[in-house]
Structure 1
């Protein structure tokens, strides 16, 4: 267990804390918890690459933690009627497909594709949209739809890279 993996694991712990805070009307505390999770996401990857501590475990747990956190956030927003059901279904579908697909690829011994600039841009847009929604500012849902659109473009890019990396016909 190295520092990057410890940071990744902390995100799993932050998920129930976030849900507890948000669902008990502690919106600002929940947002701060979410932003701390986002910071650990940035730091774990940065530290792992800079210090040569990239591990198979971290490569699997990091995206899982990200996707579970995002699923928790959109579920909480749906429960509080902040997020439209359609946006929830589309986002949840994509996140779940990515989780299941990554697990299948991993356990079949296939190489997975690391995050790229489009994936990181999608995350930034999601965080911006969620922040707007948490702060009850206009435009949050519209920004989220932009992130959703970019997430599907990103998925196509990942699939093409995966296919090339694993020479799948």
Structure 2
């Protein structure tokens, strides 16, 4: 249950308050680098888990939870600092909150959760790029953000299909 990948995921959860403190201290660009550090732990824990066959049900639940909680934190602080609109934040928040709640409900009902797929991983990278554009106030950041929101909705729909297929197969 407790292995290096899961401990890296816990470290990523612990980086959330660090991000908040750095951002609220007015060091928005430095906070972005805390976010990058969290992203690197995400890449590393997944790589180690797969390479060492240490993929666990706990990790399959905690990993996306850590990702979603970090992203929700980032988005809320971007709204708070007037870098994105409430509408964009609501779209991101509803999608991520739905995935968190859905995964928790499915886990506690004994249903299997779907591990991250390629589109989900791509969406995460695209969100990081959107945040980079927003934090450094680069052109077309808001247009790009809405494009990524659309892609993330498509990724969510794919997860729902995969979840249904996976759990139907388990019942058969």
Deviations 1:5-34 (A, max 9, x none): 111001111101101111211122201100
- The TM-score with structure 1 as length reference comes to 0.96
**Counterparts of 1:85-124 in structure 2 under 5 Å?**
85-124=86-125
Equivalent pairs counted in the alignment come to: 168
- Partner of 2:80 in structure 1? 79
Unaligned runs of 5+ in 2: none
Q: Which runs of 4+ in 1 moved over 4 A?
A: none
Deviations 1:56-79 (A, max 9, x none): 211111000000000000000000
**Counterparts of 1:1-169 in structure 2 under 5 Å?**
1-167=2-168
Q: Distance in 1 between matches of 2:15 and 2:142?
A: 24
The Cα RMSD (Å) is 1.0
Q: Distance in 2 between matches of 1:161 and 1:31?
A: 32
SS at match of 1:83: coil
- The TM-score with structure 2 as length reference comes to 0.95
SS at match of 1:9: helix
Q: Distance in 2 between matches of 1:136 and 1:108?
A: 44
Q: Distance in 2 between matches of 1:142 and 1:23?
A: 26
